[in-house]
A and B are shown apart, each in its own frame.
Chain A
Amino acid sequence: MSSLLELKNIKEYFPVMNARIFQKVVGYIRAVDDVSFSLNEGRTFGLVGESGCGKSTIAKVILQLEKPTAGAIYFRGKALTGFKRGEMADYHASVQAVFQDPTSSLNPRMRVADIVAEPLVINNSQNNSRSDITDMVAQTLMQVGISPDRSKCFPHEFSGGQRQRIALARALIVGPGVIILDESVSALDVSIQAQIMNLLRDLQEELNVAYLFIAHDLATVKYMSHRLGVMYLGKLLEHGPAGKIIEERIHPYTKALFSAAMPSHPDLIKEEVVLTGEVPSAFDLPEGCRFHPRCDRAMKICSEVEPDLKDVAENYQVACHLYP
């Protein structure tokens, strides 16, 4: 399996200014702190964690909306920093995104056909003619289950689920290798969510596209992902095959997070691990392991040394002093 997109030691720090007239940097919010993982062709990498854990910042870094403070992104084995203009345009065409709120994602003053065609119009490397583009728009809309007859409509004429399909069509039209799905199904109702997730899985099979599936709902991540990363305060704490993580839940935070998930049947209610305390701020991280103040198994070393990700099985890593 070839790695399509690889993140190596990505750090994203945001400077914090003091509130005086002559502003000075007084510290950094460590939104993403040394994160590495890779996306493989035709596979889904799921990223879970609570709000503020840095999962959406990672999406922004991959999408080049933010420049990483440190670290490198490799696309098809080549570092992004060394990309020439043409290669960069190619990267933009290959890495697309679908966000959470379909209302905000679609320009209300543009017709659906223009919205979907835009990435193609901007990166028109094959010099497609107008009618070619119209055909491709119709084809892509059909692929996501929207009738091409409605391509002259405006976004507000569609329901939430349909708008998310249109957003997906826009991402698909350039034939991307990677689609970043940042909470793409979170705002949808259960029945619509299932429709979109099934559509995404079918498209993956058909087009061999890789997904980065970011969500806070564990059940949807489980349904979509092949591999999984659990993030807490900017760091990957556990990282491995999705099925294995869900079964084993090695890291104490992963355990707590999964036990906090709502049961799918009243018989499956288990005594949950209730975390005490609040999530520390990413501006003022605790010494040592960033989870130790809330961890029920914290030891002395946890407040002194930050644990690294270490292999616990093949392709399975955990950052915890309890595990070698």
Chain B
Amino acid sequence: MGDNMSELLNVKNLKTYFFTKYGTVKAVDGVSFKVDKGETFGIVGESGCGKSITALSIMRLVPDPPGRIVGGEIVLEGEDILKISDNEMRKVRGKKISMILQDPMTSLNPVFTIGIQLEEAIKIHQGLKGRSLRERAIELLEMVQISSAAVRYKNWPHQLSGGMRQRVIGAISVSSEPRLLIADEPTTALDATIQVQFLRLLRELQEKTGVGLVFITHDFGIIARMCQRAAVMYAGRIVETGSVRDLFDNPSHPYTAALMRSLPKLEEKVERLASIEGQPPPLNDDIQGCRFAERCTVAEHQCRLSYPDETEISDGHFVSCWKF
């Protein structure tokens, strides 16, 4: 309990299910992790592993119906935000938590100038008016390195490039000075050189504001580049959590290890990539055991019977596998 002071977010045993006519889809099934103040925490996994639903759950924006958070706790600065009312949650969103989405093309409303959209966000949370509102908006645009911000302020979204739009969204997200920023694949739609610009910007924003960052991505390279700690998700569960160094130097879950071997690398010569045969199980199946067992090369009888508990194999490095 001693390090509670530095703890920003604590997700405990989160379960988000989707109730469809084809059965219950357990998109997030018992996910736990912690994020410290000012830390960048990565969640990495393949499509459909539940990483985006985890993000939406933290925002309490899971489409209902068909989705519903059926269990767990999301403790933000000591308060379980699953217990508060919708009205209170609306105040938490934007003020304490903010989110950046993948597609810069659809995240901005095309019929308002970026200045108006930025002011709208500031107005809701800070109650500024008139000139000071405008000054704050331009200041924010400058902070996200938009050149000649006073002119750009009057631009429409379609007049900006993808990279600039994403930076404007970044400005909107931090306008309310949130404690936690969730970035869901924010650079996937951007080109490599623009991606680097944006990632660097995020880092600078974080240094300036001390915001905690949850970075959701499918790209291990971004995890290596951006995060201090990360979790690997597979089929609705976290299979391994640890410092980024732990994950890269000592990937311990067979899934993490296999993924690392199947990554093409620019820096070194790889004769042949290892590939993981098969594909992830459908999430509406009722699987008792480890979800990776069917594709795992070291799976034993026990693995198919029950799900392994999380084991701490070294300081802060947790693995859910029967091997440990």
Binding site for B on A (CB under 8 A): 50-51, 159, 161, 189-195, 197-198, 201, 216-220, 222-223, 246, 256-266, 268-269, 272, 274-275, 278-279
Check A261/B279 contact, CB under 8 A, given A50-B193, A194-B273, A219-B266: no
Question: Which residues of chain A are within 8 angstroms of B264 by Cβ–Cβ distance?
Answer: 194, 197, 217, 219-220, 222-223
Q: Which of B46, B164, B194, B265 contacts A264 (CB 8 A)?
A: B265
Q: Which chain B residue has the least Cβ–Cβ distance from A162?
A: B279
Q: How far is the CA of A144 from the CA of B189 in the complex (A)?
A: 30
B224 and A260 contact, CB distance less than 8 A: no
A278 and B163 contact, CB distance less than 8 A: yes
Q: How far is the CA of A294 from the CA of B245 in the complex (A)?
A: 34
Q: Which chain B residue has the least Cβ–Cβ distance from A223?
A: B264
Q: How far is the CA of A48 from the CA of B24 in the complex (A)?
A: 42
A262 and B279 contact, CB distance less than 8 A: no
A266 and B224 contact, CB distance less than 8 A: yes
Say whether B305 faces chain A, with CB atoms less than 8 Å apart. no
Binding site for A on B (CB under 8 A): 46-47, 161, 163-164, 191-197, 200, 218-222, 224-225, 244-245, 248, 258-259, 262-268, 270, 272-277, 279
Q: How far is the CA of A256 from the CA of B163 in the complex (A)?
A: 16
CB distance from B91 to the nearest CB of A (A): 36
CB distance from B249 to the nearest CB of A (A): 8
CB distance from B204 to the nearest CB of A (A): 12
Q: How far is the CA of A47 from the CA of B102 in the complex (A)?
A: 26
Q: Which chain A residue has the least Cβ–Cβ distance from B48?
A: A189
Question: Which residues of chain B are within 8 angstroms of A195 by Cβ–Cβ distance?
Answer: 275-277
Q: Which chain A residue has the least Cβ–Cβ distance from B147?
A: A277
Q: How far is the CA of A246 from the CA of B270 in the complex (A)?
A: 14
Q: Which of A223, A258, A274 has the most CB of B within 10 A?
A: A223
B263 and A278 contact, CB distance less than 8 A: no
A50 and B191 contact, CB distance less than 8 A: yes
Q: Which of A189, A216, A222, A275 contacts B218 (CB 8 A)?
A: A189
> Would you mind naming 7 contact pairs between A and B with Cβ atoms under 8 Å apart?
A192-B279, A195-B277, A223-B273, A260-B196, A264-B265, A265-B267, A275-B197
Q: Which of A218, A261, A274, A279 contacts B200 (CB 8 A)?
A: A274
B248 and A197 contact, CB distance less than 8 A: no
Q: How far is the CA of A195 from the CA of B193 in the complex (A)?
A: 28
Q: Which chain B residue has the least Cβ–Cβ distance from A222?
A: B266
Q: Which of B163, B225, B270, B273 contacts A269 (CB 8 A)?
A: B225
B262 and A260 contact, CB distance less than 8 A: no
Check A264/B259 contact, CB under 8 A, given A194-B273, A222-B264: no
Q: Which chain A residue has the least Cβ–Cβ distance from B248?
A: A265
In the complex, the number of residue pairs spanning A and B with C-beta atoms less than 8 Å apart equals: 114
B46 and A191 contact, CB distance less than 8 A: yes
Q: Which of B163, B248, B262, B268 contacts A190 (CB 8 A)?
A: B262
Q: Which of A198, A219, A262, A272 has the most CB of B within 10 A?
A: A262
Check A190/B263 contact, CB under 8 A, given A261-B192, A278-B163: yes
Question: Which residues of chain A are within 8 angstroms of B218 by Cβ–Cβ distance?
Answer: 189-190
B263 and A219 contact, CB distance less than 8 A: yes
B277 and A263 contact, CB distance less than 8 A: no
Q: Is the interface of A mostly helix, strand, loop or mixed?
A: helix
Question: Which residues of chain B are within 8 angstroms of A246 by Cβ–Cβ distance?
Answer: 266
Question: Which residues of chain B are within 8 angstroms of A268 by Cβ–Cβ distance?
Answer: 224, 267
B279 and A190 contact, CB distance less than 8 A: no
Question: Which residues of chain A are within 8 angstroms of B196 by Cβ–Cβ distance?
Answer: 259-260, 272, 274
Q: Which of A50, A161, A191, A192 has the most CB of B within 10 A?
A: A191
B225 and A263 contact, CB distance less than 8 A: yes
B275 and A194 contact, CB distance less than 8 A: yes
Given A189-B46, A246-B266, A266-B244, output 18 extra A-B contacts at Cβ < 8 Å: A50-B192, A50-B194, A159-B279, A190-B46, A190-B218, A190-B259, A194-B262, A195-B277, A197-B264, A216-B192, A260-B195, A263-B225, A264-B266, A265-B224, A268-B224, A274-B193, A279-B161, A279-B191
Question: Which residues of chain A are within 8 angstroms of B220 by Cβ–Cβ distance?
Answer: 190, 262, 264
CB distance from B153 to the nearest CB of A (A): 18
Q: Which of B221, B244, B274 contacts A261 (CB 8 A)?
A: B221
CB distance from A243 to the nearest CB of B (A): 8
CB distance from A46 to the nearest CB of B (A): 12
Check A262/B46 contact, CB under 8 A, given A216-B191, A246-B266: no
Check A260/B193 contact, CB under 8 A, given A192-B279, A194-B275, A195-B277: yes
Q: How far is the CA of A265 from the CA of B219 in the complex (A)?
A: 12
B273 and A262 contact, CB distance less than 8 A: no
CB distance from A51 to the nearest CB of B (A): 6
Q: Which chain A residue has the least Cβ–Cβ distance from B161?
A: A278
Question: Which residues of chain B are within 8 angstroms of A264 by Cβ–Cβ distance?
Answer: 220-221, 224, 263, 265-268
B197 and A261 contact, CB distance less than 8 A: no
Q: Which chain B residue has the least Cβ–Cβ distance from A195?
A: B275
Question: Which residues of chain B are within 8 angstroms of A50 by Cβ–Cβ distance?
Answer: 191-194
Q: How far is the CA of A174 from the CA of B222 in the complex (A)?
A: 40
Check A262/B224 contact, CB under 8 A, given A189-B47, A216-B192, A257-B193: yes
Question: Which residues of chain B are within 8 angstroms of A275 by Cβ–Cβ distance?
Answer: 193, 197
B192 and A269 contact, CB distance less than 8 A: no
CB distance from B17 to the nearest CB of A (A): 22
Q: Which chain B residue has the least Cβ–Cβ distance from A263?
A: B224
B222 and A262 contact, CB distance less than 8 A: yes
Q: How far is the CA of A72 from the CA of B225 in the complex (A)?
A: 44
CB distance from B45 to the nearest CB of A (A): 9
Q: How far is the CA of A259 from the CA of B193 in the complex (A)?
A: 9
Q: Which of A198, A257, A262, A279 contacts B225 (CB 8 A)?
A: A262
Q: How far is the CA of A50 from the CA of B221 in the complex (A)?
A: 18
Q: Which of A191, A218, A261, A263 contacts B262 (CB 8 A)?
A: A191
Question: Which residues of chain A are within 8 angstroms of B265 by Cβ–Cβ distance?
Answer: 219, 222, 264
